[in-house]
Amino acid sequence: MSEELWQKYYGKPNPKYGNRVQYGMLIDINKCLGCHSCTMACKQTWTSGPGQEDIYFNSVSTQPYGKYPRHEGDPKDSSKYDYRHSNLYQDTPKGEYPNLWQFYLARPCNHCADPACIPACPTRSIYKNQDGIVLIDQDKCEGFQYCVKACPYDKIYYNSVTKKSQKCIFCFPLLEKGQEPQCVKSCVGKIRVFGNLMDPESAISKLIRDPSLGAKPYTPEVGLKATHRVINPIEPRQYRPDFGTVPSVWYVPPRNVPPEEVEKYFGYAMSGLVEEPNPVPANLKMKDI
């Protein structure tokens, strides 16, 4: 299926925005240590200014998200979530002992091939550059926050000091210098592969199209570093592809999670979902320009 999806989305120029390059990322969830080095490197570089105290362009959360302790008088099945605090009540596994599971989900902006935020912006301050990176022109942004509501991944933030919306920029100033994004460079577990998804010869494209390459020894033809190899490769998938935005961030799904649970997070859009952990209201879903 990965080869089919690659050909559909990256084997030709973007039909809507015309970009012939699409930078993306492949994240191996099974290697993530939950150390938040990526988050801190990103924050120190891009979100350390006024109004950005609670803004995390890159975040790492525990899935499923931890629950508050149940209080007396609450319904038996009640649970309360607080997404304002990125680490509160995390590392709370799901299941019954000894069949417990959890995983760490690292998430930058997906820089989608068909973003929901672009058509939602009334000032047209959000755009896709020639490298496929979704950016917000801070001079044009008037802070309507429609993009914040439209993004089904909750990866656009409103800065109450500057009155502007802000988001991950895939470290494009570093890319212009020939460097990788901060979250990639700082990763202790070496879980991220970054590159041009539209280049069939890039490491990320090869791994998505043929996951078995990750288990093979290094060869000049494949060109994959040892830190990018995996044992018992699993077919990469996108996170919540059912949102229909064609994310450019891909994942190697977790191995220690029941298959039906994996489908909730990384199920193919065409196969449907058992349950939606983060449903998007119809009025906020992507609209055509």
Question: Beta 249-252 vs 23-28: how paired, if at all?
Answer: parallel
Q: Label residue 86 by pLDDT band (50, 70, 90).
A: low
Is the predicted pLDDT of residue 193 greater than 50, yes or no?
yes
Of residues 231 and 182, more confidence is placed in: 182
How many domains are contained in the chain?
Answer: 1
Cα distance between residue 185 and residue 2, in whole Å: 26
| 108 close to 249: Cβ distance less than 8 angstroms | yes
Residue 19 covered by a domain: yes
Q: Tell me, what DSSP letter sits at residue 29?
A: G
Cα distance between residue 105 and residue 29, in whole Å: 7
**Residue 101 tokens, joined:** 């599971």
Summarize pLDDT for 97-146 with one digit per residue, the tens: 888 889 999 999 999 999 999 999 999 999 999 999 999 999 999 999 99
Residue 132 covered by a domain: yes
| Average model confidence (pLDDT) across the chain | 83
**Residue 55 tokens, joined:** 């803004």
How far CA 167 is from CA of 48, 141, 147, 150, 251, in Å, comes to 13, 12, 10, 13, 20
Residue 125 covered by a domain: yes
Q: What is the pTM of this model?
A: 0.83
CATH code (residue 202): 3.30.70.20
Summarize pLDDT for 265-278 with one digit per residue, the tens: 888 654 544 444 44
Residue owning tokens 């596994």: 93
Structural domain boundaries, residue 149: 2-284
Residue 289 covered by a domain: no
Residue 37 covered by a domain: yes
